[in-house]
Amino acid sequence: MKFLLPLLFISSLLFDGVYSYFIVVDAHAEECFHDRVAKGTKMGLTFEVAEGGFLDIDVKITGPDGKVVYHGERESSNKYTFAAYNEGVYTYCFSNAMSTMTPKTVMFSMDIGEEPKKEEPGQPGAEAVTGTAGDTKLEDMINELHTAMTGVKHEQEYMMIRDRIHRSISESTNSRVVIWAIFENMVIFAMTLGQVYYLKRIFEVRRLV
């Protein structure tokens, strides 16, 4: 328990680099975001389409030299992790070009890891600097805890999005059922009036005869 609080505190500091955003991508539009990272830095893009149309979006990640790192079409949700192959600005875009009039609401987060440590020639290794192997083990535990907390955070956000989507579907279905019930009642009422009028006309004709 004594070691848990420092681990949570340090992990919360590491957790500051993880942010989640909600954006609205209009029809025929594209929204792009940029991050500058060092070579070898791990990056992870997680996204989920919350509202709009068939809940699909086009995603593209490009490197500093314009090379396409990832390209997905009509995806509802996904998570893509990669390591930066060069230092520079990486761009990730969400395109709604396939939609004619429906905007899309997208939740996404870009997890950026720590920059890889550079060891200069002639300098002692990380284990020699820290002094003992126990420090390295503690650092590994912190990294594992950070990874686990990131996964929990993303899972909570995913469940919130799924709950919003299911609630929207339920409300839409309920509205359609109510409208259909009203329409059926109106048709039955109109048929009743028509039958009454028709029978009344039959009896009137027989009287005249």
Which tens digits make up the pLDDT trace of 181-193? Answer: 999 999 999 999 9
**DSSP-based three-state secondary structure for 40:** coil
pLDDT in tens, 21-72: 889 999 999 999 999 999 999 888 988 888 888 889 999 999 999 999 999 9
**pLDDT on residue 112:** 85
pTM over 0.85: no
Joined tokens for residue 3:
């070691």
Supply the mean pLDDT for the chain: 79
Find the range with the poorest average confidence among 44-53, 117-126, 142-151. Answer: 117-126
**pLDDT on residue 162:** 74
Compute the distance between CA of residue 170 and CA of residue 184 in angstroms, rounded to an integer: 21
pLDDT in tens, 157-183: 777 777 877 787 788 889 889 999 999
Mean pLDDT of 109-124: 69
Higher model confidence: residue 162 or residue 7? Answer: 162
Q: How would residue 155 be classed by pLDDT, with cut points 50, 70 and 90?
A: confident
Q: How would residue 133 be classed by pLDDT, with cut points 50, 70 and 90?
A: low
**pLDDT on residue 69:** 94
Compute the distance between CA of residue 149 and CA of residue 7 in angstroms, rounded to an integer: 11
* Phi-psi category of residue 70: left, alpha or beta, with phi > 0 → left and psi -120 to 50 → alpha: beta
Q: Alpha helices of the chain — where are they, by DSSP H?
A: 4-14, 126-130, 133-208
